[in-house]
Amino acid sequence: MRNLRDYIATDSDFHAADFIASIITGAERLTTFPMIGRVVPEAQHENIREILYRGYRSIYRIVGERVDVLTVIHGSRDLWSQEPKPWDIA
């Protein structure tokens, strides 16, 4: 998230802060509605899900009553070929 904020801040500190705040707000909703996201196609596992915001994927895992945000990545990234997968290392 810091790298993403820093990248956006090269153009605008305001937009960087707003973007990160929106991603965090989306993640906070997961505590109440963990199933709101879709299953990550690359993971093919019911508990590995994602929510989307402006082309970025917030990938998370549901573990009992807990939700772990694993990564936030740009939607153009190829997770099919990426090793290790975000859900394998967290």
Its pTM surpasses 0.85: yes
Q: Which helix (H) or strand (E) holds 62?
A: strand 56-63
Q: Which ranges of 1-90 would DSSP assign to H, the alpha helix?
A: 2-9, 13-29, 86-89
Residue 52, pLDDT above cutoff 90: yes
Q: Please give the radius of gyration of the chain, using alpha carbons only, rounded to the nearest integer.
A: 13
Mean pLDDT of 26-39: 95
Residue 54, pLDDT above cutoff 90: yes
For the chain, domains (ranges, CATH) are 2-89 (3.30.2310.20)
Amino acid letter, residue 45: H
Predicted confidence band of residue 26 (pLDDT cuts 50, 70, 90): very high
